[in-house]
Amino acid sequence: MAAKCCSFRAVDDNGEDRYAQGADGPSRTVPERRDRTRPEQRPAERVLLDGSGAYRRDLDGVWRYTADGTAVPGAVDVVLGDLYDPATTEDPNGRPVRVVPRAWILRRPGHPLLWVLDHAEPGVRRAPVLVPVEAWEERVAQPVGLLAPELHPSQLLGIDDVAALLDVTASTVRAYLTRNQLPPPVAKVGGSPVWSRPVVERWASGRRTRRRVRPDP
């Protein structure tokens, strides 16, 4: 992936969280997929959010900007198998299982491996989780986020870049962020928030429009 977004969420038609979907996790080499041919974007049973909600995968399998519904240029699915490829072994009963390290599973909304904890042994906190192979295979092709050219590291904007784009100071951008007046960062790089340029530009355009249509007191 070009950048790891802060969280992915699966939501139903009422906006309620389903099992969290995300790419947060320990930094590691993304395993090579056995079949490098990426399948076509498939219709979904639920809406999927990425980039702290800046992007939305609709029920037709199209990634759109949440702010205005415009399709995200060049966006394709990231599936669970793109991010994780745990080792295969047999459990004590001789059944094939995938061995998912606990370090991969972050207990936070938006993580793509939270469902794995359903297979964890009760009372065991540090041992790897043994996931039946059939349960893993049911989810390995499930979309958990997006890849898009604007999420390449060279295209992401830090606080100073956002300040220059908006023609304000960096401290003003930090104040916007603290007051939730700025879209949440689509990712964090080295612990610092970053945004994609189109997300910031759409927010700024909407902000200018709201100011123009504000009624006189």
Question: Position of tokens 């900007």?
Answer: 65
Question: Domain 153-213 - what CATH class?
Answer: mainly alpha
Give dist(CA 76, CA 90) in Å, integer.
34
As a dihedral over the C-alpha atoms of residue 49, residue 50, residue 51, residue 55, rounded to 10 degrees, the angle is -60
Of 15-24, 82-91, 122-131, which range is least confident? 15-24
Closest CA to 6 of 189, 187, 193, 195: 187
pLDDT digits (tens, 9 = 90+) for 178-201: 999 999 999 888 899 999 999 999
Give dist(CA 147, CA 126) in Å, integer.
32
Query: Residue 142 pLDDT > 70, yes or no?
Result: yes
pLDDT digits (tens, 9 = 90+) for 62-81: 999 998 899 999 999 999 99
pTM for the whole structure: 0.71
pLDDT digits (tens, 9 = 90+) for 18-63: 433 333 433 333 334 444 444 455 555 678 999 999 999 999 999 9
Q: Where are the domains of the chain?
A: 1-148, 153-213
Residues with Cβ within 8 Å of 136's Cβ and at least 6 positions away in sequence, in order, are 86, 98
Please name the helix (run of DSSP H) or strand (run of DSSP E) that holds residue 192, with its range, or none.
strand 192-196
Q: Which two tokens stand for residue 78?
A: 């990231």
Per-residue pLDDT averaged across 149-153, rounded? 94
Residue 29 and residue 207 in contact, taking contact as beta carbons nearer than 8 Å = no
CB atoms within 10 A of CB 63: 24
* Comparison of pLDDT for 15 and 140, the residue scoring more: 140
Give dist(CA 57, CA 99) in Å, integer.
30
Q: What is the pLDDT of residue 24?
A: 40
Per-residue pLDDT averaged across 107-122, rounded? 90
Please name the helix (run of DSSP H) or strand (run of DSSP E) that holds residue 11, with its range, or none.
strand 9-11
